Amino acid sequence: MGSGTQTKVLIIGAGKAGRLLDRDIAARHRNVTVLGFVDDAPDGRADVVGMISDLPMLLQKFQVGELVIALPSADGATIRRILLTVAKSTAEVRMVPREQHVLRHNAVTYAGLREVGPDDFLGRPIVKRNLRTVERFYTDKRVLVTGGAGSIGAEIVQQLLALGVRHVSVYDHSEYACYLLEQFLRERRVGRRRYSIIIGSVTAPAKVAATLRRVRPDIVFHAAAYKHVHLMEDNCDEAVLTNIFGTKTMADAARAEGVRRFVFISTDKVVHPTSVMGASKLLAEHYIQSLPAGRTGFSIVRFGNVINSHGSVLPLFERQIREHRYITLTSMKMRRYFMSIREAAELVILSGTRVTRGDIFVLDMGDLISLKEVATCLIRSKNLRPEIDVRLRVVGRRPGEKMVEELFTERERDRMVRTSLPHVWQLRRSDELPREALQQTLERLQPLAEAGASRRVRAILAESFPSLQR
């Protein structure tokens, strides 16, 4: 806005953050007029002009130029509700910093307002965990992270370094991703003795065994995997080689080398799998659970879509908005679970402190969210209008995609128990295949996958998981 233009502002939230912002605007910004507050709990205050549901009427009535969300501790559902309510409005939408910033500085300024981001409208209430116990567990430990240069793996690496581990070994096949991670750690002045970067494949048994003997990790986090559903439908052989036999190679080597803990990162796509990716990860889960008790404790972490991870839907939507002014949707009815990269890595690290024999840890991911709502909120957060400035195009389902994801089966639900970790459930031994049947399936799959016989590989997977035949 130009210096001579008067900006009319509505503040959502009449609590402390909203009042601090109002005070700052009155003292420092003569060209900004606060018209009042919007709050669902007005408590009889005269300057509260309405509730969130009243926003369309209020924006039109007062010709509001800017809407400020002054709810620093609001969860994603609340932010989504606001963005969806004002979807067709031309008013600019910004918000105050999150709760920690407000509490630390005891100030909210108009100059310090920021854009609404995906973590705001998809996030859930921040869970405060007691990290002292976790820090004590990881202090002086040596850890290896496969896929450690990927989006989730790199976040695990960063959190482990912050927890004070002695050394983190990053094991990843992507030279470029390893280069980017190394640059990131150097820029943050992480001591070179605290980490090492090893370029290698989880499908190379001799390299894996030699690496574990050399770095002697106490804990292995296995994040390396192929994750793109539609690509793996056309490359079944590679999905099986990496997701199943790469996991088997890592787990077998960990047992042979006396690694104390092994955490396998799985996916919600293993539940009633309709894709080769999901089926391959489910067979890997079954293999982990089939291993006999021994020195190495195994656990599995299962979660849904991770916000802004490499190849996830959010970066795709953002690129489409930027380059094409449209967003492609599989279906207006498709729904997914979402979690932040921070939450995903934290759950993995927490599960590493638990001794189990193949138990599965599942984060309570809240409600399923419509991808149409996600797209609408993302468009509105850019101060654009859905279906006016940015169109939504339905392109149909790709092979292997589900309309709605699940985190566990009905049978698994009966064996879920709460843990002492907030919002984390533990599944006691999943519906693993009988060990002999699993071994036979693996023996049939390996030579076919190595020969690149994708169609025959898919047929064998479908024998084990009838849902794949749909």
pLDDT of residue 60: 93
pLDDT of residue 1: 46
Residue 403 neighbours by CB distance under 10 Å: 12
Residue 356, SS3 per DSSP? coil
Q: How far, in Å, CA of 228 to CA of 423, rounded? A: 27
Q: How far, in Å, CA of 245 to CA of 416, rounded? A: 28
End-to-end CA distance of the chain: 55
H or E element, residue 278: helix 276-290
Which residue ranges make up each domain of the chain? Answer: 8-116, 131-464
Would you state the torsion angle of the CA atoms of residues 140, 141, 142, 147, taken in this order, to the nearest 10 degrees?
-130
Give the confidence band of 116 by pLDDT, cuts at 50, 70, 90: very high
Over pLDDT 70: what percentage of the chain?
95
What's the Rg (C-alpha) of the chain?
A: 25
Residue 270, SS3 per DSSP? helix
* pLDDT beyond 50 at 328: yes
The answer to whether the CB of 369 falls within 8 A of the CB of 75 is no
C-alpha to C-alpha distances, 279 to 125, 249, 403, 448, 466, nearest whole angstrom: 32, 18, 17, 16, 10
Residue 108, SS3 per DSSP? coil
Class of domain 8-116: alpha beta
The answer to whether the CB of 275 falls within 8 A of the CB of 240 is no
Among 97-106, 240-249, 271-280, the range scoring the smallest mean pLDDT is 97-106
Range 81-101 average pLDDT = 91
Would you state the torsion angle of the CA atoms of residues 243, 404, 300, 227, taken in this order, to the nearest 10 degrees?
30
Tokens standing for residue 450 = 């190595």
268 DSSP assignment: G
Residues 6+ apart with CB under 8 A from 105: none
Q: pLDDT, tens digit, for every residue of 450-470?
A: 999 999 999 999 999 989 875
Task: Give the residue among 368, 356, 231, 188 at the shortest CA–CA distance from 288.
Answer: 356
Would you state the torsion angle of the CA atoms of residues 109, 114, 120, 126, taken in this order, to the nearest 10 degrees?
-40
* pLDDT beyond 50 at 405: yes
CATH 3.40.50.720 fits 131-464, yes or no: yes
Q: How far, in Å, CA of 21 to CA of 210, rounded? A: 59
Q: pLDDT, tens digit, for every residue of 130-169?
A: 778 899 999 999 999 999 999 999 999 999 999 999 999 9
The answer to whether the CB of 108 falls within 8 A of the CB of 17 is yes
The answer to whether the CB of 122 falls within 8 A of the CB of 369 is yes
Q: How far, in Å, CA of 172 to CA of 236, rounded? A: 21
Are domains 8-116 and 131-464 of this chain identical in fold?
Answer: yes
Q: What is the pTM of this model?
A: 0.88
Residue 368 neighbours by CB distance under 10 Å: 15
Q: How far, in Å, CA of 416 to CA of 111, rounded? A: 47
| Catalytically active residues, by annotation | 269
Q: pLDDT, tens digit, for every residue of 203-260?
A: 999 999 999 999 999 999 999 999 999 999 999 999 999 999 999 999 999 999 999 9
Task: Give the residue among 219, 301, 309 at the shortest CA–CA distance from 264.
Answer: 301
* pLDDT beyond 60 at 7: yes
Residue type, 417: V
Q: How far, in Å, CA of 388 to CA of 215, rounded? A: 56
126 DSSP assignment: P
Residue type, 272: H
Tokens standing for residue 50 = 């309405």
Go through 405-425 and write b for each residue having 16 or more CB atoms within 10 A of its CB, e for each that does not.
Answer: bbbbeeebeebeeeeebebbb
Task: Give the residue among 321, 287, 275 at the shortest CA–CA distance from 437.
Answer: 287
